[in-house]
Structures are given as C-alpha cells and as structure tokens.
Structure 1
Amino acid sequence: MDKTQLRARGKKILSELNPEDKKRIEHSFYLHLFKSDIWKKAISIGVTVSQESEWNTEPIIRQAWDENKFTVVPKCEPKSKRLDFYKLDDFDQLETVYFGLKEPDPTKTEPLKKSQIDLLIVPGLIYDRHGFRVGFGGGYYDRFLENYEGETVSLAASNQIVETIPKDEFDIPVNHLITEEGFLY
C-alpha cells in the first residue's frame, strides 16, 4: 500500500471505532503514558488539540496541568508548512482555524522554542514497528522533528500498526509507540 491508501485506512479505522471501544483504548493509552519514565521526566509536553475523530488529547493536557507541567500545542503555518508551539494554560487560549482545528491564539499565549519541549506526542494514522508513521499528509511534524532532541511518542491502537510503511528521506520515526497493550518500544 502507498501512503495515500494507508492514510485512508487509518482514517477509516478511527472513524469506525464505537465510542465505548474508543474510550477503553484511550484510557489504556493514558495509563501507560502517565506511568512511564518519559512522562515523569518531562517538564514540558507538546501535544495537539485533538479533533473528534482522533484520539482524545484533552485528558493528556489536563493531566499535565494537574502535575504542573508546561503544555504546549502547535499552530500550523500553512505557507511554510511549519509548526510553532505555544504554551497552553487554559482552553480559552485556543481559536478555531481552518477545517475546525483548534490552535493557540498567539495574542493570548507565548511561543516556546523546540529545545524547550521535553516530550512530544506525535499524531498519526498508521505506524510500523520501527516508529515510522503516516500522518495527515502535510509533513508538518517531520519538518518539526528534524533536529528535535526531546523524546517522541505516539498513541496507536494495535490495528493501526502495519508491517511496513513506504519511507521518504525526510520521514523521522518516533522514539516510542504506545498501544492499548502498553509500550511497543
């Protein structure tokens, strides 16, 4: 399968999950993540603000706040296909942009440098066992991950894992993958 087919497969997997299964899988993600050393060591957590069809990141953001960690969320710059991360202290600091995405409002918060993010939770649709992923197609995260030195982790149900993914020279794997069963690596 090529990346376009894998992307469609990943979207289908997420859209067809019934609400009870989705909540059960998400709950296992959170348990494994919050017990992990990479979470415990991190002072700043980078994470997207999820849309309805994605794995829910609100509990991750709230847990980070409860533990007095910095939470930073990305703002996409479509012309340059760049991500800039902004500190998020309250959901009121978000604005709705294109395609209904929730992103930080730069007038209500402050940017953080890439080097200030300890743990980045990288979204995706399909993964292989080596940390390579098929995302939503913009290449934003691969650009951001270039020269990123912090830890990276993705959350994926076991049916989002495939044997191999076609790789391009700019694809950067995540360090860790959490499934409902725990850390895959």
Structure 2
Amino acid sequence: MNKKEYRKKIHLVLNELSERQMIEKSSNIQHMLFTSEQWKQSTVVGVTVSRFPEVDTHKIIERAWDEGKKVVVPRCIPQNHHMEFYEIHSFNDVEESFFGLLEPLESLAKISPNDIDLMIVPGLLYSKNGYRIGFGGGYYDRYLAHYSGVTLSLCFDEQLVENVPTDTFDIAVHHIIGEGWLLEII
C-alpha cells in the first residue's frame, strides 16, 4: 500500500472507535506521557491542538500550563509548506485556519526551533522504527530537518504497525507513546 491508501485505511479503523473509547485511550496515553522522562525533563513543549482522530492534546496542553511549561503550537504557511511555532497562554490564543486546524494567532511570540525541547509530532500511522505517515503536507518533516530536540509521537494501539512506506525526506521520531507502552527508538 502507498501512504494515501494507508491514510484511508486508518481513518476507517479510527472512525469505528466510539467517543468513549477515544477518551479512555487518550487518557491512558496522557498518563504514559506525564510519567515519561521526556515529559518530566521538558520545559517548552511543541504540540498541535488536536482534532479527531488524533489523541486528545487539550488535557496535555492544560497539564503543561499547570506544571509551568511553555506551550508552543504550530502555524502552517501553505505557500511553502513550512511551519512556525508560537507560544500560547490559553485556548483563546488559537483560531481556526485552513483545513479547520486550530493554530496560534500571528500576533503571539514566535519561538525558535532551538528553544523547543520536546516536540510532540502528530500523525495517522506509526511504525515500530519511528517513522510515521502524517496528514500529507510534509510540514513536520520539513520542520524536523532543522530541529535538534526530543521528538515523540502519541499513538493509539490501532495506529502502530510493523512498517510504513517511507521517502528519503521522512524523519523518524525518537519515542512513541501508546496505551500503556513507550517505544524508545533512539
């Protein structure tokens, strides 16, 4: 299968999960994240504001604020498929943008990649060697090419497979956290 076919297949699988299952699975993953060394050692967390069918990040963002961590959220630049991260202090600091994503207001402080020590990288499907199939824009692979901090993805059990198709520009994440497990890739 190619990436497009994998995306379609995983959407079908995730659409079969009930809202209650998604909440429970997200809660298990959040617990694993909050007890991980990667989370404990971080001070600036890069994360998207989730939407279905992703692991819920709203509670992750709130927990980061409660712990005094900075939360930085990406804003996509569609013209060149790049992203820039901005610090948000509340959910009032985001607005709906293209594709219905919640992105930070451009008036907020832009954060350099060197200042982000933990990047939570979204995706649809993950391989056991850290590669992922994202949503198709290549934004994260472009950003990660210039990022040197810790990368981590959050994954429902249904999203983990042995291998995914990769391209030369794809960048593996360092860790994958699931529903009661942590894969250390690097």
Whole-Å separation in 2 of the counterparts to 1:53 and 1:38: 24
Whole-Å separation in 2 of the counterparts to 1:48 and 1:80: 19
Q: Which amino acid aligns with 2:174?
A: N
Q: Which amino acid aligns with 2:14?
A: L
Q: Which region of structure 1 is more displaced relative to structure 2, 133-142 or 175-184?
A: 175-184
Aligned pairs for 1:100-139 within 5 A: 100-107=100-107, 109-139=108-138
Is 2:99 aligned against 1:99?
yes
For the Cα contact (< 8 Å) 1:14–1:54, is it kept in 2? no
Query: What is the percent sequence identity of the aligned residues?
Result: 42
Whole-Å separation in 2 of the counterparts to 1:14 and 1:82: 27
Count of residues paired in the alignment? 184
Q: Which amino acid aligns with 1:113?
A: S
Aligned to 2:83: 83
SS of residue paired to 1:103: strand
For the Cα contact (< 8 Å) 2:73–2:85, is it kept in 1? yes
Is 2:8 aligned against 1:15?
no
Which 5+ residue runs of structure 2 have no aligned equivalent?
none
1:39-68 CA deviation, whole Å, 9 max, x = no partner? 011000000011133221100100000000
Q: Which amino acid aligns with 1:26?
A: S
* TM-score normalized with structure 2 length: 0.96
For the Cα contact (< 8 Å) 2:3–2:133, is it kept in 1? yes
Aligned to 1:178: 177
Whole-Å separation in 1 of the counterparts to 2:114 and 2:14: 32
Which 5+ residue runs of structure 1 have no aligned equivalent?
none
For the Cα contact (< 8 Å) 1:44–1:71, is it kept in 2? yes
Is 2:46 aligned against 1:46?
yes
Q: Which runs of 4+ in 1 moved over 4 A?
A: none
Q: Which amino acid aligns with 1:160?
A: Q
Whole-Å separation in 1 of the counterparts to 2:46 and 2:174: 14
Whole-Å separation in 2 of the counterparts to 1:85 and 1:47: 9
For the Cα contact (< 8 Å) 2:75–2:103, is it kept in 1? yes
Q: Report how far residue 161 of structure 1 moved.
A: 1.2
Aligned CA-pair RMSD:
1.0
Whole-Å separation in 2 of the counterparts to 1:104 and 1:156: 24
Whole-Å separation in 2 of the counterparts to 1:8 and 1:52: 14
